[in-house]
Chain A
Amino acid sequence: MRHNDNLAAGIDDTIQYVTVIIGGQLFGLPISQVHDVFVPESVTRVPLAAPEVAGVLNLRGRIVTAIDMRKRLHLPARDANAQVMAVGIEHKGESYGLVIDQVGEVLRLSNDSMEPNPSNLDKRWAEISGGVHRLDGKLMIILDVTRLFGAMFEPMAAA
């Protein structure tokens, strides 16, 4: 019993993150939010859509709206033939794919090592970041999916 309790407590304290790299920066997405990881192929452009919308694509019979995270984070566009990956996310019953540069390992991190956003973080980054983890030699920004979508929908609603 006690062993189980410890295990449960251990799980409560840590979150597993799928790490991704966008423009050289390490980001982490809570694993519970990530549905799948895939290579976005034959993406159809959507004319007139917001600039960060990379297009729509067919993922096993579902239509996924791809969002270019580089554009979203106001980073320079990647090279034309650079490899891209996408992280599949569900938001309100709809499928989205966050287009990123590279997927890294899955990390189990303790909540203790998480710190709030530094106050001087770029505003456009801060609005989608849920905090920062200090790792060996680098920082991992937590990508808060809810805030990411919230920030994307609201300005559109206003427009």
Chain B
Amino acid sequence: MDDLLSEFLTETNESLDVVDVELVKFEQEPNNAKILDNVFRLVHTIKGTCGFLGLPRLEALAHAGETLMGKFRDGAKVTPDAVSLILSSIDRIKEILAELEAANGTEPAGSDHDLISELERMALEADTRGSAAADDTAEAEDDGLARGELVEQVLERPLRPGEVSLDELERAFREAEVEVELPVSAVLSEIEADAEMEAEAAPPAPLAPRGRKREEDAAPRETADKGEKKASVSSQSIRVAVETLEHLMTMVSELVLTRNQLLEISRRHEDSEFKVPLQRLSNVTAELQEGVMKTRMQPIGNAWQKLPRIVRDLSQELDKPIELEMIGAETELDRQVLELIKDPLTHMIRNSADHGLEMPSDRRAAGKSEKGTITLSAYHEGGHIIIEVKDDGRGIDVDRVKAKVLERGLATEAELDKMTDQQIHKFIFHAGFSTAQNITSVSGRGVGMDVVRNNVELIGGTIDLRSVPGRGSSFIIKIPLTLAIVSALIVEAGGDRFAIPQLSVVELVRVQSNSEHRIERIKDTPVLRLRNKLLPLVHMSQLLGVGPNDGDQEIESDTGFIVVMQVGSQTFGVVVDGVFHTEEIVVKPMSSMLRNLTMFSGNTILGDGAVIMIIDPNGVASAMASHASSVVAENERKEAEDAMASALDGQATVSMLLFRAGSPEPKAVPLSLVTRLEEFEVSKIEHSNGRDLVQYRGSLMPLVYIEASQTRRSEGTQPMLVFSDAGRSMGLIVDEIVDIVEDRMNIEVGSDRAGILGSAVIKDKATEIIDLGYYLPQAFEDWFMRKEMDIAALTKKVLLVDDSAFFRNMLTPVLKAAGYDVTAVNGARQAFELLENGDTFQAIVSDIEMPEINGFEFCEALRRDPRFRKMPVLALSAVVSPASIERGRQAGFDDYVAKFDRPGLIASLKDLFAGEMGIAA
């Protein structure tokens, strides 16, 4: 791509961002001629340049847009439709530009006829509405204006070099008025000629006339008209490739390191003659560093440019009037950080507009103005920049968050009760958490606040939130100004030094066995009592697996320093052996061989020349979190489910819950089936209608005893396993929970006893695998019925298709115990994959109600394939009506079985295979 074109692309993209902003303003104040002039000029410039570069498609589109805007300038009425149309034209221009860039300068094929004709139609309409008289005056005025300015410019030109572009601008502007008479190319060449001529006539700034021109375009016309001063300021700036700056930054970083090294050396030689020049070098380096850092700084407003447009679109889409206030757009920060913060900010604005602000009617009812306000502000604080996104909406609904937390199993009710509202708010930063009830096109697409939090934390920032019900919420992001140089605390652990970024360090605590700060232990977990709070601790050498003696010993020695760190909402202490000092370090990326280490974010060279690893607070936090029970529980459940799925081919292990009930022999149930382990006070167990019940989560949960002989406790607590599905729960009373083990579940000996599927060897002991299918109907009769199992069934491969993990986990052991070799998948898509891969099955058992492809469609698809035309396929459904059975037959199912009719399923399978064998024989 030639330079001219790439420069054009950069500039045009900048101009277009400005147009977006200006147009939104324009829609609000249609009578503001200055804004219109400004927009008009920008589009005109784009059009002109396109013509010059030979980009006919862009030119035609820009021209049509310009024509319509010209009508507005001449006094035609501005309609929101027209603004929307122009905005979509600008979007199209952006698309074409993007493709242009990707295709290395070739304009993409395609037609914009749709937009152009619409633009022309609207322009025509405006024409008929607008009066001819207005046109005349406009032209007359314009002529006068042009003449006057030309004189002024000739006078001032020698004094103010920046005027070159202004002049050219005005000229272009004037010519735009008469372009109807002139062929476009002639106008353009004239413009360019003018520009060149004037560039030559302005010696102080001959290099960047084009660049200046656009920059000035961005300024409101008011400034352009009156403020030559501004123009001359912009003429002093030049464009520098980002790469050049990056390289400069790297070199300065090296210089800083070298200076640090020199200082370290001179510190050891007291009366060195180098002292004075070194001090000077040090100062100069510091200034240079600051200077170079400045070149990387950009006002945060650059990241906000697209927001007014987004808010405008949202406002229309959601039918809520929204005002976006932006404060502190001039606040500067590193452009690298700026880039990284753009997307999270956009997401947060969307969130505020969608979830934060109420509908206008609700607002009125709450005594607020109909128009919601989102305030975006930025300011510096220490070495950080604080960005706040605030809305005056309804605030965060604590109850809804709580409900969601419980539903997701992120915390228990008891835990929630102990939390403050603020702590509960923080759950919205958890992965996959969204309180939006409906998925709208605006938000709730699975990208939640957790992604925002991750992005912010990735650049060493933190995110916090405050919310007052009915008054609104505000998100506060704190990020470092730059990523290149960070202040770090140098600590020692296990004989090595490490750097911890200061940003995540909250405080340092010195611990001694006799001081008030002591390391205490809960079971094996070290904790620190700090201002009445328990802080989880981890020893750094333990975390990193370094140190001569193992970490436990160290921690028990009870002396050392605790670095209290905060990452997001997580606070924890890291025990280190020593703390040295803080140092400004230049973060260098680790070599790709080491990049897989999540515990480090990079490395650096210290003043003494040694290389030191930089601890990644996020890595430490996630290592800590993996100890946290809630996460463990969730992972365990997930793993159990995965393991279960792969266990179906008999190879992988399954998590089994071992317990005792009634008899001394251990019993087991797949852990994935168990929803929760609970203990209840015996006094809470109530007797009603001949059965035992307990109040559980607001409803009565029936209790079932494994064996009638089981002793009923009269005091203390009663452990039980809770099984839940579709809102119903059952408590299975056990005597004692023994263990959770990972083992294969191969039922070796079948059982005739009710409630026992058979025996398997688990942990080298014969263990009875209980049959949940026997106990569930004891709680709810319609859960399903139990029948003797036919252990003698031949080993047939059966494919089970069901989207519900519960039923997959439930039916797999049942089928397995009946002697089938079962593979379970979560949907038709997966099933097809297996079949396509050449896996053979003797039969398929499929659920009917499934997302994406339902059972009927699945079966029909199977029947269309000659390979599977004869494959026995069983339907399994919760709904069994004559109509659905008929529908199933039409779809090609061999049989239709109710989901809870397990004996029916076994019998039906047996019939199928019997029939098959009969045919074969």
A95 and B496 within 8 A (CB): no
- Per the 8 Å Cβ criterion, residues 567-613 of B in contact with A are 588, 590-594, 596-597, 599-600, 603-605, 609-613
A152 and B593 within 8 A (CB): yes
Across-interface contacts of B102 in A (CB, < 8 A): none
Across-interface contacts of A50 in B (CB, < 8 A): 593
Q: Which of A44, A65, A95, A152 contacts B612 (CB 8 A)?
A: A44
A53 and B593 within 8 A (CB): yes
Q: Across the interface, name the chain A residue whose C-beta is closest to B497.
A: A44
Hey, what's the 0/1 contact readout for A30-63 against B, CB within 8 Å counting as 1?
A: 0000000000001011111110010111100101
A153 and B592 within 8 A (CB): yes
A63-B257 in contact given A48-B597, A49-B597, A58-B609 (Cβ < 8 Å): no
Confirm or deny: A82 has a beta carbon within 8 angstroms of a beta carbon on chain B: no
Q: Which of A48, A61, A94 contacts B599 (CB 8 A)?
A: A48
A94 and B597 within 8 A (CB): no
Confirm or deny: A17 has a beta carbon within 8 angstroms of a beta carbon on chain B: no
Across-interface contacts of B591 in A (CB, < 8 A): 56, 63, 65, 94-96
Cα separation A90 to B709 with both chains bound (whole Å): 75
Task: State how many angstroms separate the Cβ of A55 from the closest Cβ of chain B.
Answer: 8
- Per the 8 Å Cβ criterion, residues 594-635 of B in contact with A are 594, 596-597, 599-600, 603-605, 609-613
A156 and B609 within 8 A (CB): no
B545 and A58 within 8 A (CB): no
Size of B's binding interface in residues, CB under 8 A: 27
Cα separation A104 to B597 with both chains bound (whole Å): 35
Confirm or deny: B258 has a beta carbon within 8 angstroms of a beta carbon on chain A: yes
- Per the 8 Å Cβ criterion, residues 91-117 of A in contact with B are 92, 94-96
A56-B257 in contact given A46-B594, A65-B593 (Cβ < 8 Å): no
A56 and B593 within 8 A (CB): no
Across-interface contacts of A57 in B (CB, < 8 A): 611
B592 and A58 within 8 A (CB): no
Confirm or deny: B546 has a beta carbon within 8 angstroms of a beta carbon on chain A: yes
Cα separation A132 to B550 with both chains bound (whole Å): 45
Across-interface contacts of B599 in A (CB, < 8 A): 47-48
Q: Which of B254, B597, B610 contacts A46 (CB 8 A)?
A: B597
Q: Which of A42, A53, A63 contacts B588 (CB 8 A)?
A: A63
Q: Across the interface, name the chain A residue whose C-beta is closest to B602.
A: A63
Task: State how many angstroms separate the Cβ of B324 from the closest Cβ of chain A.
Answer: 43
A47 and B592 within 8 A (CB): no
Across-interface contacts of A47 in B (CB, < 8 A): 494, 496, 544-546, 599, 613
B596 and A156 within 8 A (CB): yes
Q: Which of B254, B257, B592 contacts A92 (CB 8 A)?
A: B592
Q: Across the interface, name the chain B residue whose C-beta is closest to A149.
A: B593
A48-B611 in contact given A53-B593, A152-B593, A153-B593 (Cβ < 8 Å): no
Across-interface contacts of B546 in A (CB, < 8 A): 45, 47
B605 and A63 within 8 A (CB): yes
B610 and A94 within 8 A (CB): no
Q: Across the interface, name the chain B residue whose C-beta is closest to A96.
A: B591
A44 and B611 within 8 A (CB): yes
- Per the 8 Å Cβ criterion, residues 476-500 of B in contact with A are 494, 496-497
Task: State how many angstroms separate the Cβ of A94 from the closest Cβ of chain B.
Answer: 4
A61-B605 in contact given A44-B496, A48-B544 (Cβ < 8 Å): yes
Cα separation A67 to B594 with both chains bound (whole Å): 11
A65 and B605 within 8 A (CB): no
Task: State how many angstroms separate the Cβ of B243 from the closest Cβ of chain A.
Answer: 15
Across-interface contacts of A63 in B (CB, < 8 A): 588, 591, 603-605, 611
A94-B592 in contact given A48-B544, A48-B599, A63-B611 (Cβ < 8 Å): yes
Across-interface contacts of B594 in A (CB, < 8 A): 46, 49, 53, 56, 65
Cα separation A48 to B494 with both chains bound (whole Å): 13
Across-interface contacts of B496 in A (CB, < 8 A): 44-45, 47
Cα separation A65 to B590 with both chains bound (whole Å): 9
Cα separation A42 to B544 with both chains bound (whole Å): 20
Across-interface contacts of B612 in A (CB, < 8 A): 44
A156 and B588 within 8 A (CB): no
Q: Which of A48, A56, A95, A159 contacts B603 (CB 8 A)?
A: A56
Across-interface contacts of B258 in A (CB, < 8 A): 61
Task: State how many angstroms separate the Cβ of A103 from the closest Cβ of chain B.
Answer: 22
A44-B610 in contact given A63-B603, A63-B605 (Cβ < 8 Å): yes
- Per the 8 Å Cβ criterion, residues 533-571 of B in contact with A are 544-546
Across-interface contacts of B603 in A (CB, < 8 A): 44, 56, 63
Across-interface contacts of A53 in B (CB, < 8 A): 593-594
A58 and B605 within 8 A (CB): yes
Task: State how many angstroms separate the Cβ of B444 from the closest Cβ of chain A.
Answer: 35
Task: State how many angstroms separate the Cβ of A63 from the closest Cβ of chain B.
Answer: 5
Task: Count chain A CB atoms within 10 A of each CB in B496, B604, B613 and give the residue with the most.
Answer: B613
Report A's interface with B, CB cutoff 8 A: 42, 44-50, 53, 55-58, 61, 63, 65, 67, 92, 94-96, 152-153, 156, 159
A-B pairs, 6 with minimum CB distance:
A47-B544, A65-B591, A56-B611, A94-B591, A44-B611, A47-B546
Report B's interface with A, CB cutoff 8 A: 254, 257-258, 494, 496-497, 544-546, 588, 590-594, 596-597, 599-600, 603-605, 609-613
7 A-B pairs with CB atoms under 8 Å apart are: A44-B496, A46-B597, A46-B613, A61-B605, A92-B592, A94-B591, A153-B593
Q: A46-B600, A49-B594, A156-B596 are in contact. List 14 more A-B contacts (CB 8 A).
A: A44-B496, A44-B610, A46-B597, A47-B599, A47-B613, A56-B590, A57-B611, A61-B605, A63-B588, A63-B591, A63-B611, A65-B590, A94-B591, A159-B596
